[in-house]
Chain A
């Protein structure tokens, strides 16, 4: 059997081609892996965003609960000892008011 002898140039070309293939393959695998990793990361972040949105909704509701007028009035009257203003303590600003005339 007769074997053909390859020249140096041919061997280098072949090796370069194989190397290129390996690089492309490696890049492709790296790219795919990264894409999957990023997909997981995006998924995790989406879950986090949703949780944060839920937390915002929960906190808004909590704020509404804490600012409920029944609670505020309870604190104002019960803990701080505040009372309603007497008629003489109410100031009406920005308008000249005539003293009320008695009905004939």
Chain B
């Protein structure tokens, strides 16, 4: 056999060998270029084409009332995403997406946004966030290439507006923005997870791998009672509508534990559509400072008894009907004649309360205000609480004695309620709270704010306020109510002085006075029309709520109201 390298064939064989070697070298150079120099870019391209890492949102914890009734719950929904198909022109893909328009309710703006991202061939594009599962399933059934669904959850408030200001609301990512949703966000939200989607050549997801498991949030049980909350809201709403007031608030608290049974504001909003208009979203019970007016006399009365200079035998002449304080006149709401110490508070005489305060002297009054913890937050577990405004004693002027009648001081409704509750709790300060598993409202070893003797002396005075004084409209047959009315004039910004038209009407009290079950405050801001006093506007709301709530709680009246038929089992009788 003849060798291929023999004679004439050798140059041709050499040429072939050179060409082959050059070709191998070229391939090798290209491989080195792709595998070494272009490695990082190409690897990321491959990963972006074959995988997608997405966040998995955990299910937020459920919020219930004290009896386990659902107030807020997260339910599964589907978010619709689109992963652009690289092999198809963007215009064709947009034609496909346009088919979803009707089902997913996409606007022209949405389509423009999606179109821009399809042009850029972005990793994955959000088409519709948190769509109803049925709607998402209908969209998916159209078979649009590159479309995929991602399970998420959406906050649902089955009771609509109920306890809106307590619950607050969440944002689009289910993050708490107000109320307990914000206060207990960490507990409720759980922990986000991560998931890796595997995509085929057409960028359709065929499998997924969980990188980090999402941890669901914990449930939260509130002290709120759905029924009491509903009663408070419906009565408050009625009062605010009838009086044409700007806003109103009611807080109902368990006198001994500080558990908030209801916290209502009117007007209200739907927590499912958070955020509402700015003012409507404000929790007026804790986030609004105001001059309280005569409800603050519950502090003055305590200071008077504690200082030891004012006795129940004192007689005050207030026939003049006015007194000058720091160059300005303070007047009674009507001529009151001669009053004893109890009568001052029963008839709510501003004139005599100022006289009493002057006997107490500023230091005694100031110390009692601090003892009642005004100027400090109550510590309720809700965000946005105000602490009120108290001027330091060193800055007090003669006019500062108006503090005794609830002016020149700012408080929140909850602070006034907590102060009144000191009488209900036999002198102890009870901390209000809204989450049921929080510790009891009375701190162990904390000294009493008021001695039992003073409480025992003053509670009958506040009972008499309701039985025969300014708080008569709060009277409830069969129950003794201890309470105090308040009517504060408001500053008219137009004239820069206290207005005779603008009032803040309030009533604070507890019931039954001898075995308190509930403490409650009602505040109505700027009632219109002829009825503007706390006794006329707020006290009837207190009565209506108390009547319904006591019946609901099965609190038996002390004495049978005249028309009530009473029934009881005879001894040895069968039920």
Q: Which A residues form the contact surface with B (CB < 8 A)?
A: 54, 57-58, 60-62, 64-65, 68-70, 73, 86-88, 90-101, 103
**A-B contact list, 22 entries, CB within 8 Å:** A54-B76, A57-B73, A57-B75, A61-B73, A61-B156, A64-B159, A65-B159, A68-B160, A69-B226, A70-B230, A88-B563, A92-B566, A93-B567, A93-B568, A95-B556, A95-B568, A96-B566, A97-B564, A100-B477, A100-B478, A100-B562, A103-B467
3 nearest A-B residue pairs (beta carbon): A100-B559, A65-B158, A97-B560
Binary interface encoding of chain B residues 454-493 relative to chain A, with 1 for a CB under 8 A from any of its CBs, else 0: 0000000000000110000000011000000000000000
Q: How far is it, in angstroms, between the C-alpha of A33 and the C-alpha of B437 when the chains are bound?
A: 52
Indicate the member of B227, B557, B563, B564 with the most A CB atoms within 10 Å.
B564
Binary interface encoding of chain B residues 60-77 relative to chain A, with 1 for a CB under 8 A from any of its CBs, else 0: 000000000110010110
**Looking at the complex, which one of B70, B477, B564 makes contact with A92 (CB distance below 8 Å)?**
B564
In the complex formed, the residue of B with least CB distance to A86 is: B563
Q: A91-B564, A91-B565, A94-B569 are in contact. List 17 more A-B contacts (CB 8 A).
A: A54-B76, A57-B75, A58-B76, A60-B70, A61-B73, A64-B69, A64-B159, A68-B160, A69-B159, A88-B565, A94-B568, A98-B559, A98-B560, A100-B478, A100-B559, A100-B560, A103-B468
In the complex formed, the residue of A with least CB distance to B561 is: A87
Contacts of B558 in A (CB 8 A): 97, 100
Q: How far is it, in angstroms, between the C-alpha of A99 and the C-alpha of B557 when the chains are bound?
A: 10
In the complex formed, the residue of A with least CB distance to B73 is: A61
Indicate the member of B227, B468, B562 with the most A CB atoms within 10 Å.
B562
Tell me if B186 counts as interface (CB < 8 A to partner A). no
Tell me if B261 counts as interface (CB < 8 A to partner A). no
Beta-carbon contact of B560 and A99 below 8 Å: yes
Tell me if B551 counts as interface (CB < 8 A to partner A). yes
**8 A Cβ contacts from B6-27 to A:** none
Beta-carbon contact of B162 and A70 below 8 Å: yes
Q: How far is it, in angstroms, between the C-alpha of A58 and the C-alpha of B557 when the chains are bound?
A: 41
Beta-carbon contact of A61 and B566 below 8 Å: no
Q: How far is it, in angstroms, between the C-alpha of A70 and the C-alpha of B227 when the chains are bound?
A: 10
B49 to chain A, nearest CB (A): 26
Q: How far is it, in angstroms, between the C-alpha of A103 and the C-alpha of B159 when the chains are bound?
A: 43
Contacts of B560 in A (CB 8 A): 92, 97-100
Q: How far is it, in angstroms, between the C-alpha of A68 and the C-alpha of B70 when the chains are bound?
A: 10
Beta-carbon contact of A97 and B557 below 8 Å: yes
Beta-carbon contact of A62 and B467 below 8 Å: no
Beta-carbon contact of B556 and A92 below 8 Å: yes
Q: How far is it, in angstroms, between the C-alpha of A98 and the C-alpha of B468 when the chains are bound?
A: 22
Contacts of B563 in A (CB 8 A): 86-88
Beta-carbon contact of A92 and B567 below 8 Å: yes
